[in-house]
Structure 1
Amino acid sequence: MEDDDAAPHLPMDILYKIPTHISDPASLARLASSCKFWRNLIKDPAFLERLRRRHRDHGFTPSLLLGFFYQDKKRSSSGLWKYYIDKTRCLAPSFMRMSELSHFVGSKSARNAIKPLSLETFIPDLGASLNFYKPIASQDNFLVLRRQSEVATPNGQALNDLLCVCNPLTGETFEIPSHRYVPPDHYALFVTNDVNIYGCMSQSFQLTGIWIKKGDRFICECYSSKTGTWTRSQGVPHLMHGLYLVSSSATASGGVIHWLCGSWKQMSLTHVATLHIGNMELSYLELPPEAKRNKAPVLGSSADGGILLLIVQGLQMLLWKHSNALGTDSSSWVLSERIDMRSSLPQRVATLGIRAKVRLEMFRGKSGTVVLWIDEEGLFVFSLSDRSMRRIDSAHVTKKYFLCPYEIDWLSCLAITNLVVDGSLSLDAERQKTQGRWRTLMGRNLATNGAS
């Protein structure tokens, strides 16, 4: 556009409709950075609110996943700590951007030689404060880091966890006081968008630790960023008699946590158990028959808060969605997609057919991102949205080490940062830093030259 102040030469009613048809956050940000007309239209609170309502209903948005935080396996060696006398050296988690993972098509894959970023890139002057912390959870811009305390009980059990929650986009860190108990079985993070009396938006979070006693009793303690304290939840719900919990497959969203459950009698998966944190109640949903015969499905939460179930059968991937309106039995599931992965997998794996060993590791339902472990090949990222496959080819990441997908709530990003790509106004120091972090996180997904 020749003049940043000039409006495009189209009827105004058409111009106002154009941004409403954009669902990709990177494209929306690029449009906002092109000229003041689009920027002012997208910054309008009414437009953002309409976009937010529409966002609850749309499908997968791949660019919500900016990348992966992980703790380098060489850095996390149990004997490494004592060899570093210089405690100012930063050994915080590293970050791999999705935009820089090499694409994989059949038997062809480019190698990625780009050096991963450090968390210190987004939060300067960390020093040794987050050394050896491992990313364990993320939601809507926030990242939870954990390191087991070096202090132990007489029987060798760790006394507590050292915890930190940070926001790489804003550069904030929140030190979480230790809770009084031994490390929990699970941590879950819940993020809430808050609007004050002046209409300004901010975010608060709740970090929840869950202890599963004797395999069927749930004890819960929650830390609130608003109060700065841990609170023990009332009630100790018990799992339904005859069921056992598959603790490795859990997903948290909207104040609830879902787990897969199996039956001791049938020795197979039968239900999804949902723990409602607010009232500490458990509810159950029967799985579809195909999932009951599968040994390793994974759960996810959709953009609208629904439950998603992903299954691998041979070289096919099945996506099931739960319809709340249909009840709690297996008929309430709908087979949404059946995806043939043969054209995306390595040629050797595709040739093996049903003998190939492909296992689901992680699933993020908002972005539609699946992490796969393929025997003798390594870790791959598969997109349910465009069927693309990328290789996680960092030499220091394996399935045995902490790898945490980093998804953002891009509507809140646009509202909170007042469009960090906006270059039309003079920026204060903090806003300039936020703009730099946004572009660094987005990588090649976002143009590096803002409008002026």
Structure 2
Amino acid sequence: MNPICRRRSALPPPAKTTPTDDENLLPEVLIRLPAQPSSLPRASLVCKQWRHLIADPQFLRRFCAHHREPPIIGVFLDFYRGDLSFRSVLDRPDLILPERFSVRFDGIEGGGVEGNDGIWSFRRCRHGRVLFTRGDHLGKGCRQVLVWDPVTGDRRFIGSPPKLDHDWSKSHVQADVLCVAGDKDHVHGSCHSSPLKVVLVCADKLVARACVYSSETNSWGDLISTDVPYHTMSCVGSRSILVGNSLHWFIFGTQTGILELDLDTQTLAVVEVPPDAHASHHGLYLSTLGGGLGFIVVSDDFVAQLWVRTTDFDGVAGWMPAQAIELNKLLPLRPGEWTNLQTVLGVAGDENVIFVSTNGGVFMVHLESLQFKKIFESNPLAECTTSTVHPFTSFFTAGNNMKVQG
């Protein structure tokens, strides 16, 4: 045998190709980009390798898991009788145009914001989804439900619960939506295909009722009810918060309490609230600012006082005052602007954000950090006293819409 051939045959086989250190580090770098709408789309323009990586669902899951909390990318302004408008709270290049998040009611039975037999009413946005119910011409009751994902455009139509135990079409109904993904590392705000639940709740005289729809079974559960310890007809407030796996609403009657729906045990209960805590209030809002169930009372001089639920050594639950935020000293208002302050528009309980409307614009205040931003220089809500503000949180990334080519 040729000696040269012998030497060649003794050589080790060529090493398998492995990713370079740069390729291994690239995902670690990109997942640390800010969780803003423009971050990943702009990075995807660098080269084909980056574009493929950013479009990978596994990378997008890691990106969301790294940031944990989806950002508030805009607000839905809910005007009377179904007039809904989206406004971005971000500056360019992260600003999202209103028409990008414009809901369609066409193609649905009784479609249109106002049909011949009822109107669609905005109810809630949570975990990247928006919920509507269709009631009568005054918006009362619930005959149909629509769950809308503004990021993907997906619409899910759900019929109302059967009338065996209660006629939901004749009640003053509140409604809610939430993701119920059970994955350990699941991050809300990127769960566009995850299972969900829809909750309807109402109070009629001395009884509060709830019913829960599950997308996993595509059906409504049994009626859940509890007695209300108030002496006149009660009503359920429109805003809710999620604490653990329980939803909470204010319930108003001769007294004010908090209605609690435990989704694990499928039970309703009424939590009493001390009446002296909210006497002569300017605004009353649920909150999780103290780490659990709480509420915020805004006084006439615009001090936001937090009350938190406590338990003593004997296991008896109660309430105690906690943090107080002087909004009139926190916000940079011009001379005379505060005296013309119109109202506190509301609190987004899960996000612990409060919106303050003035004649010079609208402020968004993060109650935990006390950071604030003037989201509107002019006030789009000044002429409509029935309008409300609902923040929309989501990981609005390139992977939601981008198709990789080549």
Shorter-chain TM-score range? 0.5 to 0.7
**Could you say if the C-alpha distance between residues 64 and 420 of structure 1 is closer, same or farther in structure 2, counting changes exceeding 3 Å?**
same
Confirm or deny that 1:223 pairs with 2:213. yes
TM-score (norm 1): 0.60
- The 8 Å contact of residues 145 and 165 in structure 1, kept in 2 or not, is answered as yes
Query: Superposed, which structure 2 residues align to 1:45-56 within 5 Å?
Result: 45=58, 48=61, 52=65, 55=68
Residue 354 of structure 2: aligned partner? 370
Residue 160 of structure 2: aligned partner? 178
Q: How far apart in 2 are the matches of 1:324 and 1:23?
A: 37
Q: Which runs of 5+ in 2 are unaligned?
A: 1-18, 115-119, 185-189
- The 8 Å contact of residues 348 and 391 in structure 2, kept in 1 or not, is answered as no
Confirm or deny that 1:400 pairs with 2:386. yes
**Could you say if the C-alpha distance between residues 426 and 317 of structure 1 is closer, same or farther in structure 2, counting changes exceeding 3 Å?**
farther
1:96 to 87, 90, 107: 87
The AA in structure 2 aligned to 1:97 is: S
- The 8 Å contact of residues 379 and 399 in structure 1, kept in 2 or not, is answered as no
Q: How far apart in 2 are the matches of 1:284 and 1:396?
A: 35
The Cα offsets for residues 287-337 of structure 1, whole Å up to 9 and x where unpaired, read as 6975456352211346x9733533333554436374778773224x63175
**Could you say if the C-alpha distance between residues 34 and 369 of structure 1 is closer, same or farther in structure 2, counting changes exceeding 3 Å?**
farther
- The 8 Å contact of residues 78 and 84 in structure 2, kept in 1 or not, is answered as yes
Q: How far apart in 1 are the matches of 2:258 and 2:99?
A: 37
Query: Superposed, which structure 2 residues align to 1:273-292 within 5 Å?
Result: 273-277=259-263, 278-282=265-269, 284=271, 291=278
Residue 318 of structure 1: aligned partner? 304
The Cα offsets for residues 122-147 of structure 1, whole Å up to 9 and x where unpaired, read as 65966983333231211122112233
Residue 335 of structure 1: aligned partner? 323
1:233 to 218, 223, 227: 223
Shift of 1:212: 0.9
Residue 258 of structure 1: aligned partner? 248
Residue 129 of structure 2: aligned partner? 142
SS at match of 2:195: strand
Shift of 1:348: 2.4
The Cα offsets for residues 262-295 of structure 1, whole Å up to 9 and x where unpaired, read as 795xx6x6x5442324421326365697545635
**Could you say if the C-alpha distance between residues 70 and 263 of structure 1 is closer, same or farther in structure 2, counting changes exceeding 3 Å?**
closer
**Could you say if the C-alpha distance between residues 311 and 145 of structure 1 is closer, same or farther in structure 2, counting changes exceeding 3 Å?**
same
Confirm or deny that 1:359 pairs with 2:348. no
**Could you say if the C-alpha distance between residues 125 and 44 of structure 1 is closer, same or farther in structure 2, counting changes exceeding 3 Å?**
closer
- The 8 Å contact of residues 68 and 98 in structure 1, kept in 2 or not, is answered as no
Query: Superposed, which structure 2 residues align to 1:31-180 within 5 Å?
Result: 33=44, 35=46, 36=49, 40=53, 45=58, 48=61, 52=65, 55=68, 63-70=71-78, 76=81, 93-99=84-90, 117=99, 121=102, 129-132=111-114, 133-149=120-136, 160-179=142-161, 180=163
Larger Rg: 1 or 2?
2
**Could you say if the C-alpha distance between residues 288 and 27 of structure 1 is closer, same or farther in structure 2, counting changes exceeding 3 Å?**
farther
Q: How far apart in 2 are the matches of 1:187 and 1:140?
A: 14
The Cα offsets for residues 397-443 of structure 1, whole Å up to 9 and x where unpaired, read as 72324x45252343xx66xx8x33756x229xxxxxxxxxxxxxxxx
SS at match of 2:181: strand
SS at match of 2:337: helix
Q: How far apart in 1 are the matches of 2:36 and 2:99?
A: 22
SS at match of 1:330: strand
Q: How far apart in 1 are the matches of 2:45 and 2:139?
A: 56
The AA in structure 2 aligned to 1:129 is: G
TM-score (norm 2): 0.66
Residue 108 of structure 1: aligned partner? none
SS at match of 1:117: helix
**Could you say if the C-alpha distance between residues 204 and 379 of structure 1 is closer, same or farther in structure 2, counting changes exceeding 3 Å?**
farther
The Cα RMSD (Å) is 5.0
**Could you say if the C-alpha distance between residues 378 and 218 of structure 1 is closer, same or farther in structure 2, counting changes exceeding 3 Å?**
farther
* Structure (1 or 2) with the greater helix fraction: 1
SS at match of 2:296: strand
**Could you say if the C-alpha distance between residues 16 and 308 of structure 1 is closer, same or farther in structure 2, counting changes exceeding 3 Å?**
farther
**Could you say if the C-alpha distance between residues 325 and 34 of structure 1 is closer, same or farther in structure 2, counting changes exceeding 3 Å?**
farther
Q: How far apart in 2 are the matches of 1:346 and 1:229?
A: 53
**Could you say if the C-alpha distance between residues 263 and 97 of structure 1 is closer, same or farther in structure 2, counting changes exceeding 3 Å?**
closer
Confirm or deny that 1:420 pairs with 2:405. no
**Could you say if the C-alpha distance between residues 169 and 122 of structure 1 is closer, same or farther in structure 2, counting changes exceeding 3 Å?**
farther
Q: Which runs of 5+ in 1 are unaligned?
A: 77-90, 102-113, 151-155, 428-452
Aligned residues between the structures = 356
Q: How far apart in 2 are the matches of 1:232 and 1:23?
A: 43
1:206 to 179, 197, 218: 197
Q: How far apart in 1 are the matches of 2:30 and 2:249?
A: 41
Q: How far apart in 2 are the matches of 1:208 and 1:422?
A: 33
Identical positions, percent: 11
Q: How far apart in 1 are the matches of 2:230 and 2:107?
A: 48
